[in-house]
Amino acid sequence: MIGEYLAAAYPWTKSLHVISVIAWMAGLFYLPRLFVYHAEKVGAGTETDALFQTMEYRLLRAIMNPAMIATWVFGLGLVFTPGVVYWGDVWPWTKAAAVLVMTWFHHWLAWRRKDFAKGENTRSGRSYRIWNEVPTVLLIVIVVSVIARPFS
């Protein structure tokens, strides 16, 4: 019964999953970039500091968190759709590992936002520039795993 419903909803589930991933990735690319400028150019306790904190908070709470949750919900919907994932292949495992790391990175960014909010950021702009590459690497792993399936 549930399998039939998921199979019938597959095009919608997949579409909503892709839309959610795009929104989540936009935030994962942008928030560390905001941290770069915040760390390099903004003094704690200034008006600009308050502005950056507002932008970072709203990006995380209004865009990234809902997009991450939707990505997980629709992604799990795809996982449970009959015939979509064969766990004997390697690609679902590499994708799952990358998604777990991406989720950890999302939470790491949330912890760093709290550091800025408390005036306790200790990381440099260069550090955030390096961390800003993490979602790109994970995106490559996920897309290649799902589309090219090199180890199937």
Q: How many residues does the chain have?
A: 152
Three-class SS of residue 74? helix
For residue 37, the model assigns a pLDDT of 97
Q: Looking at the predicted structure, is the pLDDT value of residue 38 above 80?
A: yes
Task: Using alpha carbons, select from 141, 129, 137, 140 the residue that is nearest to residue 31.
Answer: 129
The helix (H) or strand (E) run that includes residue 69 is helix 65-79
Which tens digits make up the pLDDT trace of 65-81? 999 999 999 999 999 99
Q: Is 120 exposed, middle or buried (0-12, 13-18, 19+ CB in 10 A)?
A: exposed
115: left (phi over 0), alpha (psi -120 to 50) or beta: alpha
Q: Which residues neighbour 32 within 8 Å (Cβ) at sequence distance 6 or greater?
A: 109, 128, 129, 131, 132
Q: Looking at the predicted structure, is the pLDDT value of residue 151 above 90?
A: no
Q: Looking at the predicted structure, is the pLDDT value of residue 29 above 80?
A: yes
Q: Which residues neighbour 130 within 8 Å (Cβ) at sequence distance 6 or greater?
A: none
Q: Which of 2-6, 36-40, 128-132 has the lowest mean pLDDT?
A: 2-6
For residue 134, the model assigns a pLDDT of 97
Q: Is 103 exposed, middle or buried (0-12, 13-18, 19+ CB in 10 A)?
A: middle
Which tens digits make up the pLDDT trace of 82-108? 999 999 999 999 999 999 999 999 999
Which tens digits make up the pLDDT trace of 115-136? 999 999 999 999 999 999 999 9
Share of residues in the chain with pLDDT > 90 (%): 93
pLDDT band at 3 (very low <50, low <70, confident <90, very high): confident
